[in-house]
Chain A
Amino acid sequence: MMTVQVAPGAQNVAPRRRATRRRRDTRAGYIFLSPWLIGFFVLTAGPMVASLVLSFTNYDLFSTPSLVGFANYTRLWTDSNYLQAVKVTVLYVVIGAPLKLIVALAVAVLLNSARGGSGFYRSGFYLPSLIGGSVSIAIIWKAMFIDNGVVASIGSFFGGPPAESGGWVGNPSMTLPMLILLTVWQFGAPMVIFLAGLKQVPTELLEAASVDGAGRVRRFIRVTLPMISPVLFFNLLLELIHAFQVFNSAFIISNGTGGPVRSTLFYTLYLYQRGFQSFQMGYASAMAWVLLIVVGLVTFMLFRTSKAWVHYAGDEK
C-alpha cells in the first residue's frame, strides 16, 4: 500500500525538480550573461544600427542630423580621396597578407624541421608581433627609412640612389612597400599558429609518402599542406580582416595626413579624418558600412571556397 502511494508522488517530484532546475538555470544564465548582454546591446548592436541610420544623414555632432538618403553612398564613388584610400588598402591587403603568411609558413617549416632548441627562435621571431603595432615601432620604422637613414645607406651601398634622397618615407612609390615590410616583419603570430598545426601532421603519413617516392616538395604539397589547411584558413581569415583595419603605422608615419601624395591614405585613416577631424559623421558612417559589407563578403567567400580546399580530419570522403 505504502509503495503504491509513494510511487506516483515520486514520479511527480522528478519532473518538478527538473523544471525548477531549468528555471533556476535560465535565471542564473541571464544573470551571468548580463554584463556581456549590456555590452553587446550598448556598445555593439546599438551602435551598429545607429551608424547605419547615420549613414543616411548628414551629422556634424553639433546640429541635428538631416536625412539625405543615399547621397553619402553615391558621393563615395566620386570622391577621389576615397577611391585612393580603397586602392591603397586593397593593395596592402592583397600583397601584405599573403606575403606575411608565406614568410610565416616558410619559417614555421624551418623551425619544425629541428630536433630541438627551436623554442628560442620561436620566441625571438614572435617578438615583433607583440611590439610591431605600437607607436614606438612606427617611429623607429620611420627613422630607419628616412632620407640618409639606415635603409637608404644600405640601398646606396648596393647601387641604389644616393643616401641623401634614397629614403622611402618621402617617396610616394615606396611608402606602401615600407608599410608592407612592417606588417611582414610581424609574421611571428601566424608562424606560431602554423607551427602548432605542423606539429599535428602525423609523421607516419610523411614517411609513407617518402617511401612511396615522393620528394620533399611533393610531400609538402600533397601531405603537409592539406593537413594544415584548417590552420591556413584560420590565419588567412585573421590576417585579411586585420589588414583591412590597419591604422597606427600609417597615421604615425604620415603624421595623420596619409601623405606623401596620399600614398598612405588607408581606408581607416581616411575614415578617421572624415569622422573625427572634419566631423562628417554621416559620411564616415557610410564608409564604415561599406567596409563592413566588404569584410563580410570576403569572410563569406572564404568560408564558401573553404569547402574545396580546407580538409578537416574525419571527413575524408
Chain B
Amino acid sequence: MTVNVAEVSNVESATGGSARSGRRRAGSGRRSWIKSSVFHIFSLAVLVVILYPALWMVMSSFKPSNQIIGSVNLIPGHGTFDNYVKAFQGIGGVSFWTFLLNSLGLAVLSVVGVTLSCSITAYAFSRIRFPGRGVFFACMITTMLLPFHVVIIPQYIMFNQLGMINTWWPLLLGKFLAADAFFVFLMIQFIRGLPRELDEAARIDGAGHARIFWSVILPLMKPALVTSAIFAFIWSWNDFFGPLLYLKTPDSYTMPLALRLYVDQTSTSDYGAQTAMAILALLPVVLFFLAFQRHLVEGVATQGLKG
C-alpha cells in the first residue's frame, strides 16, 4: 500500500499542520542536542557489547595462559608477550612463516584470478551481444544460490584422479575460471553504469572488443575491481573448508588449518598461545578492514556481498 502524498498534504493545510510543525522547529535546537547525545550513548553502548568478544580476544592474548578463561576483565594483570613468542615458534615442526606464506600465496593468486577472469566474463555479459547470452546469464545467477555441497564430492573425485590433492590447483582453479558469480555480478552492475558512447567512440576508431575491454572499460572499472579484490583476499584468507578438503600435510597448511592443528595439539590449558595465534590469523583481515572500511561497507550496501 502506498500513501497518496497530494491527498495527505491537503489534509495538512486543512488541519493547521503547518502551525504544529512551526512550533516543533522553535524548540528543535536543544531537543536535537539531547536526541543526538542519547543516540551516541546508546550506540556506543551497543558497540561496546558487540565488540566485547574482539576486545576480550586481543587483551587475552597478552595475559598469562592461566588467567584467560573466566576473566571478564579486559586489562591484563601483568602483560606478557610470551603467547606471541610461542605462536611464532610454529607447530608440528612447521614454522609459523610457512603457514603465513601459504595463506598469503593463495590469497594473492585468488585476487589475481578473480579480478582477471571475472572482469572478462562481466564484459562479455554486459557489452557483447551474442546468441545464448541470456541463457548463460541465467545460469550464472543460479550458481549464486546453489549450495556448494552438490558439487564438492564430484570435484573432489576429479581432483583426486588428476593427482591434485595437496596442491593449490583445486583451490585456485575456480578463481581463474570466474566461478565466484558474486564478483561477476558486481562487475556487470558496474559496467552497465558506464556510458555506452565510450565503446561506440572506440569502435568507430577501429578498436575491437579486446581493445575496448583493455583500454576503455578495464581502467574505468577500478572501483569494482578494488572491491572485488578486497573481498577475494579476505574470503580466501578466511577459507577453511577448501583447505580442509585439499591440503593434507602440515607444511601446506594455511593459517586457519594451522590454527586448528594448534587447538588439537596444544594442551587445552594453553589458551594463551591459541589466542595469540588466532589474532595473528585475523590480523590481515582487520588491517584490510581498517584501510578499506568504506570500500567494504559500500560493497555490501550496493551488492549485498557477504562479509
- A residues touching B (Cβ–Cβ < 8 Å)? 22, 24-26, 28-30, 32-33, 35-40, 42-48, 50-51, 54, 61, 107, 110-111, 113-115, 117-118, 121-137, 139-141, 143-144, 146, 148-150, 152-154, 163, 185-186, 188-189, 192-193, 195-196, 204-205, 208-209, 211-212, 222-223, 226, 234-235, 237-238, 241-242, 244-245, 247-248, 251-252, 255, 268, 271, 275-276, 281, 284-285, 287-289, 291-292, 295, 299, 311, 316
Contact = CB atoms under 8 A, between A and B. Distances in A.
B216 interface: no
A234 B304 CA distance: 8
B128 A241 contact: no
B128 A32 contact: yes
B278 A136 contact: yes
Contacts of A245: 147-149
A291 to B, nearest CB: 5
Interface residues of B, number: 103
B247 interface: no
B259 interface: yes
A139 B263 contact: yes
Nearest to A130: B307
Interface stretch (B75-83, B91-99, B154-162): B154-162
Contact of A113 (B39, B148, B238, B244): B39
Closest 8 pairs between A and B when the two form their complex, measured CB to CB: A39-B177, A129-B307, A29-B130, A32-B124, A47-B154, A50-B154, A136-B278, A208-B8
B84 to A, nearest CB: 14
B46 interface: yes
Given A36-B121, A131-B54, A131-B282, A188 B307 contact: yes
Given A39-B179, A130-B296, A140-B278, A115 B117 contact: no
Contact of B70 (A149, A235, A284): A149
B147 A241 contact: yes
Contacts of A118: 43
Contacts of B241: 247-248
Contact of A291 (B149, B278, B297): B149
A115 B40 CA distance: 11
Interface stretch (B104-112, B132-140, B190-198, B218-226): B132-140
Contacts of B51: 124, 127-128
Contacts of B147: 241, 244-245, 288, 291-292, 295
Contacts of A292: 146-147, 149-150
Contacts of B204: none
Q: Which secondary structure dominates chain B's binding surface?
A: helix
Q: Which secondary structure dominates chain A's binding surface?
A: helix
Contacts of B289: 123, 127, 130
A22 B151 CA distance: 36
A143 B177 contact: no
A40 B139 contact: yes
A139 B177 contact: no
Contacts of A123: 289, 293, 297
A153 B70 contact: yes
B238 A134 contact: yes
B2 interface: yes
B12 A152 contact: no
Given A189-B305, A295-B147, 11 more contacts: A29-B124, A48-B150, A51-B151, A114-B36, A117-B40, A121-B43, A121-B47, A123-B289, A125-B50, A135-B281, A281-B153
B71 interface: yes
Q: Which of B150, B156, B213, B259 has the most CB of A within 10 A?
A: B150
Contacts of B56: 140, 144, 150
A133 to B, nearest CB: 6
Contacts of A125: 46-47, 50
